[in-house]
Amino acid sequence: MQSFLGRCVREVTLSVLFYAVFCLAAMSLVAVFVRAYAPQDGAVTAAAWVIRCAGSFLFPLLFVRRERALFKGAAAGAVGAVVTMLLFAAVAGAFSCTWLFAVELFACALLGGLGALAGVKLRKE
């Protein structure tokens, strides 16, 4: 039987891992198509926000279970946003953090918590 803390770490880690892989794969595809058809940098940024928000809702919905789902989902969304920001910075070769990242961090945490709550309700645990 796993301890509560072990389950929390496992659920959040799985959620963040799949969230990061999803964001990297989706953003690489979007960047190829957007760069080919719409040369504005704003299009890539908007697509990145949509992908991150979708991922921060979807993966806590799938992986977070049982008690304290709101907090575990919020942690998964926030940590996932930080991890993807660091991954994108590593890929781009430059690190840039603006005030919009604080808004994105809050939105991802909120969506992660809501996704986890929805997942618990859908599974009827």
- Token output for 100: 């919009």
List pLDDT tens digits, range 3-47.
888 889 999 999 999 999 999 999 888 878 877 776 676 777 788
List pLDDT tens digits, range 66-121.
888 999 999 999 999 999 988 888 877 777 778 888 899 999 999 999 999 999 98
**DSSP code string of 28-78:** HHHHHHHHHH---HHHHHHHHHHHHHHHHHHHHHHH--STTHHHHHHHHHH
What's the total number of domains in the chain?
1
Identify the domain containing residue 39 by its residue range. Answer: 4-123
Residue pair 83/56 in contact (Cβ under 8 Å)? The answer is: no
